[in-house]
Every structure is written in structure tokens, then in C-alpha cells.
Amino acid sequence: MLVVDDEPQIRRLLRVTLEAAGLTVKDATDGAEAIREAAYLKPDCLVLDLGLPDMDGVEVVRRIREWSDVPIVILSVRDEPGQKITALEVGADDYVTKPFDAGELVARCRAVMRRRSGGSHEASFVQGDLAIDFAARTVSVGGRRIDLTATEYALLRMLALNAGKILVHAQILRQVWGPKSEEHRQYLRVYIAALRRKLGPAARIKTESGIGYRLETDG
């Protein structure tokens, strides 16, 4: 269990509450630390405050959902319906407002942990010289950092998370450029060419003629 809150008193209270229920607790104080810890600790559940000092909790959820299906329970003083809807839409599993009932929070955490199982990707992708750290959003080839644009990274991440599978043009366009971009295959050609140029032979992006693209695997 990973608890993310910038207030020491809340972290202490949550630790006591959750450990009394038999859960092992680690904590983080800001969004960047939460993302790192989620990647490397692989907790069974996150209890996440929205008001963090370095980034909004909604952004933390969005970033983690790029590569992980870990259950996330929002614990926040924000009780506006719009805030709750936004957090749930980007991938949070439940939303509890402060002040909270300890028994209810434990029950909600257990409930989301039961519902979620086996849906997470690894926090990194390594194949040959190509290495992608999904939590840090970094790409390197042979240990050398490669600078990608946000769109180039989103495209490479999608290919890597589905390595070995053929991704059709429309599927990639919907996810990377949005639902109204399915006819714009020229976007794909330009960005695939850019990835091949920047990554060199490590890219191993195969064109499936008339269908889409596939990141080849060692297997």
C-alpha cells in the first residue's frame, strides 16, 4: 500500500489506520515521488491526495495509468462533483473525502484491490539497446538519452507496451492523436520516420503493409 500526501499528520494517521488493518504501508510526499514509488514498489493500492506540492493528483493518476493498472483511491478535501468526475475519468478507482471514516477507507481500499488484478505493465521496457522508463518518461539507446517530442514518446510507448503485436493505423491514431484523427495516416508516416531516425536500428519498428506497425521482439 502506497500513501501519498504532503501532510505528515495525515500520513501518520493513514499508516496507523491501514497497518491496523493488516496492510503494509509505504509513503510519498509529492507527485514525482509517488510515480517513482508506484513504479518500483509495485504496491497493491495507492491512497492519493489531490493537493500535492509539485503537481495535481489528477496528473499523477494520468501518468500512472499510462503503464499501470494499480488500484487508486483518491483521498481529498475537494468535494466538488466536477473534481470527483475528473479524477475518476482519468483512471482513479474510488474517491473518499476528508475528513474520512477509517473503517470506510479500509473497506474501499480492499474493494478496489479485489476488483483489480493482473492488469499492470512493467514500469520499463528493455530490448537490446533500446530502454524506456515509463515512470520517468525517458528513452535511451545504448545508454545514451534520446530526446523525443511528446507525440513521438506517446507513439513509441504504445508500440512498446504492445511489443510483438500488430497495431492497426486507426487504433494508433485514435490513441495518440484522438478519435477524430483516424483518416490522417500521414501523421503516422511522419512520426514513425522520426522515431526510426532518432533511435536508429534499435527502433525495430516493422511496417505491416496496408495494416499498421509492429515493434519487433527478440522472441
Q: Kindly state whether residues 99 and 171 are assigned to the same domain.
A: no
**pLDDT confidence band for 164 (50 / 70 / 90):** confident
Q: Kindly state whether residues 27 and 84 are assigned to the same domain.
A: yes
pLDDT at 78: 92
Q: Kindly state whether residues 60 and 156 are assigned to the same domain.
A: no
Query: At which of 115, 141, 165 does a domain end?
Result: 115
Q: Kindly state whether residues 72 and 19 are assigned to the same domain.
A: yes
Q: Kindly state whether residues 62 and 166 are assigned to the same domain.
A: no
The candidate with the shortest Cα–Cα distance to 78, out of 107, 40, 48, is 48
Q: Which residues contact 136 (CB under 8 A, 6 or more apart)?
A: 36
For 196, the domain range is 149-215
Taking only the tens place, the pLDDT of each residue in 70-111 is 999 999 999 898 889 999 998 899 999 999 999 999 999 998
pLDDT at 127 exceeding the cut of 60? yes
CA 60/CA 49 separation, integer angstroms: 10
Q: Is residue 79 part of a domain?
A: yes
Q: Is residue 125 part of a domain?
A: no
Q: Kindly state whether residues 85 and 189 are assigned to the same domain.
A: no
Query: How many other C-beta atoms lie within 10 A of the C-beta of residue 173?
Result: 22
Q: Kindly state whether residues 103 and 193 are assigned to the same domain.
A: no
Query: What cell was used for 97?
Result: 473525502
pTM: 0.70
Split into its structural domains, the chain has a count of 2
pLDDT at 54 exceeding the cut of 90? yes
**pLDDT confidence band for 7 (50 / 70 / 90):** very high
H-helix or E-strand spanning residue 63: helix 57-64
Taking only the tens place, the pLDDT of each residue in 101-116 is 999 999 999 988 887 6
Q: Is residue 103 part of a domain?
A: yes
pLDDT at 208: 87
**Dihedral of alpha carbons 187, 189, 192, 198, sign:** negative
The CATH code of the domain that includes 41 is 3.40.50.2300
Kindly provide the residue ranges of all beta strands, DSSP E only, lying in the chain, ordered along the sequence: 2-4, 26-28, 46-48, 72-76, 94-97, 124-127, 130-133, 138-141, 144-146, 167-168, 205-208, 212-215
Q: Kindly state whether residues 14 and 107 are assigned to the same domain.
A: yes
Q: Is residue 142 part of a domain?
A: no
Q: Is residue 72 part of a domain?
A: yes
Query: At which of 67, 96, 115 does a domain end?
Result: 115
Q: Is residue 141 part of a domain?
A: no
Q: Kindly state whether residues 178 and 92 are assigned to the same domain.
A: no
Q: Is residue 198 part of a domain?
A: yes
Query: At which of 65, 98, 115 does a domain end?
Result: 115
Q: Kindly state whether residues 34 and 101 are assigned to the same domain.
A: yes
The CATH code of the domain that includes 181 is 1.10.10.10
pLDDT at 162: 85
pLDDT more than 90, % of the chain: 62
